[in-house]
Structure formats: structure tokens, C-alpha cells
Amino acid sequence: MNLRSPALLSAALLCGTGCVVKDSSSDPCSPNPCRDANRGQCVVESNEARCLCDTGFVARPNGNCEPVSAANCAEHGGDAAEPDDCQARARPLAAGSGVHQQTIDPIGDFDFFRVDGQLGHIYSVTVKPSGSLMPRVDAFDQGGKYLGTHESTVQAVLGFKARSAAPYFLRVSHSPVDISAAVGAYALTLTDLGMDDHGDTPAEATSLTPDSFGTTSPQDHFGRFEYQYDDDWFRFSASSTRNYRITFQGPNDRVLPVVAVFGNGDTQNPIFTEQNPTIDFTVPSGGTVYLRMFLPSGQGSYAFHLYEG
């Protein structure tokens, strides 16, 4: 154990014999825990080690890391970005860098882009087609984990959140929903929407203080579902002897979230789930209560009041 740090030395003296003091700055990738064949690249995500495919290899759906080849990363003619048919050959794409013009050509072409995500930021990508192309855009994290998709005849619009300061990947293609084997040009734009307004987990929940019933000036709480599958978590201190009410506010262009209420220290199994403009409830025991707000699909803004009485 390295005790050159004054903080670690003090902790060790207080700890005594037989106690291990862990250096909070230790690297989860040192020593490298990645031992699987062709998956020896270690990266740190949320202070934990994650094993990725080695350089020159690509992750396959079965979990294996295969050498990049024409079989898993096609090489063909097309626009100037080729070859870019797999994550290993993705072209860099910076948010706010303007409109990027490319083509899906020949039939079955994929275009991959790499986005260096900032922790906690929301990104929105728009793909506008020309000709007969029906664009589809998919998002993946650096390990190939699927994050979401969108496809449309008009334009494909997809949002995703960078849960780590790490590379993320976009894949543009012609939608398999369209049975025609179309090719064509498209215009792609990437926008950084900034930090997520509310956390996606109980540990990141926004703290609330309920207003008393009958108050004439309750506190407004605002939120926005900024991307597909966005969750907004809130928490407040509750009592089993009090009544609670959530009221969602207009205007009509605001969305009405689904609300899941959690208590008793259990953030996996809600006490109840409801989607109504006014939600009245009690809790079985006092302590911290968590509210998870979400939409089954879509995006939009919302506002609510929280009362106690």
C-alpha cells in the first residue's frame, strides 16, 4: 500500500493493525483484469473496469471479438467516407460541426460514426434523406451495447445519453422496414443538448421538499424527457402519517408522465405506478420516498407540484 498520500497515512494510523486502507485513486484496470481472447483492452466506466475488443477486432452479436475483415466490415465503393461499415472503422463526428452529407450506397451499406461523449450529456442526431432512402439510425456504446434506434420516411431523430466520458457510435442505414432495396443521400446533424436535467437512477435523484396543502404559491418542479427511454428520478422525506399529492401542470403541449412511487428502501419494486394529472397517495412507512417519472415512448416537457398534509 502506498502511504505517501497524507490522507492515506492518517487513515492507516487510525485504522490500526489488520485493517486495509483502499486508495480511492486506484486504477480498476491496473492490473489488467481482461483475460479473454482478443478482448484485452481495459477501460474505466463509472469507476469500474470494462473489457473491450482489442484494436483491429470488432464485437459480434454472439459476444466474440473477431478480426476486422470484409466478412464483418464490408469494403466497397461509395462516398469518400468508405470504408466505414463497422464500429472499428467509424468516422469521427463532433457535435455542432454542421451538416454532414453522405450516401447509403450500395444496397446494404452501413455508415458508422464515432462520438466522443461527455459524461452526463444528451446528444441528438438527425438524419434527413433524399430520394427513396428511408433512414434508420442506431446508437451503441463503446462495447457495442445497443442504446436505441429510430427510423422514418421523413427523417430519423434519435437521442441518447453519455453515461461515461467515452466513445459512442452511430450507425446509419436504409431501414429494413422498407422492403425496397433503396440507396440514396442523407444529411446528418449531431447536437449536444447539454447535461441531463434529472438523474436516471435513485443515486442521482433530485431532492424535493413538499409544499403544504392549501399553499397559494407552491414550488414549481420542471423536467423534460430528452431522449428515448429517459428516466427522471426525484426523492423526498415522507411520513406514514401524512397524505401526499402530485399535480401535473399545463399547458396542453406538456406531456403527462407515468409515476412510480418507491418506499421502504426498495427502489426496485414500486409501491404503485400511476399516470394521472393528480395522484394522491400515502406511504406505509416513513423515510426517503423515490419518484420515478418516465414516458412509454416519445419526448417532452412536464411540470408538477408536490404537496404534503
Q: Which of residues 150, 180, 195 is at a domain's end? A: 195
Residue 268 has pLDDT above 60, yes or no: yes
What phi and psi values does residue 156 have, to the nearest 5 degrees? -100, 130
Confidence label for 60 from pLDDT (cuts 50, 70 and 90): confident
Phi/psi-derived region of residue 263, left when phi > 0, alpha when psi is between -120 and 50, beta in every other case: beta
Confidence label for 264 from pLDDT (cuts 50, 70 and 90): confident
The residues, ordered by sequence, that sit 6+ positions from 130 with a Cβ below 8 Å of its Cβ are 184, 185, 186, 187
Residue 158 and residue 216 in one domain:
no
24 within a domain of the structure (yes/no): no
Q: Which of residues 195, 221, 246 is at a domain's end? A: 195
Mean pLDDT of 190-219: 96
Residue 144 has pLDDT above 60, yes or no: yes
The secondary structure element, H or E, covering residue 14 is: helix 6-15
Q: Considering Cα of 66, then 70, then 71, then 73, what sign does the dihedral take? A: positive
Classify 309 as helix, strand or coil: coil
Residue 21 has pLDDT above 50, yes or no: no
135 burial (CB, 10 Å; 0-12 / 13-18 / 19+) is buried
Residue 107 and residue 86 in one domain:
yes
Residue 12 has pLDDT above 80, yes or no: no
The reported pLDDT for the residue numbered 180 is 87
Confidence label for 160 from pLDDT (cuts 50, 70 and 90): very high
Residue 6 has pLDDT above 60, yes or no: no
- Cβ atoms within 10 A of the Cβ of 65, count? 20
Indicate the number of domains in the chain. Answer: 2
Residue 141 and residue 228 in one domain:
no
Residue 225 has pLDDT above 80, yes or no: yes
Q: Which of residues 179, 195, 211 is at a domain's end? A: 195
Residue 230 and residue 143 in one domain:
no
- pTM exceeds cut of 0.95: no
221 within a domain of the structure (yes/no): yes
Q: Minimum mean pLDDT among 21-30, 96-105, 111-120, 237-246: which range? A: 21-30
The reported pLDDT for the residue numbered 278 is 98
- How far is Cα 65 from Cα 57, in angstroms, rounded to an integer? 6
Residue 18 has pLDDT above 50, yes or no: no
Range(s) of the domain holding residue 105? 78-195
The reported pLDDT for the residue numbered 25 is 59
Residue 268 and residue 188 in one domain:
no
Nine-digit cell at 171?
450507425
Among 52, 84, 49, 83, smallest CA distance to 65 is for 52
Residue 140 and residue 174 in one domain:
yes
The whole-chain average pLDDT of the chain stands at: 91
Nine-digit cell at 105?
450506397
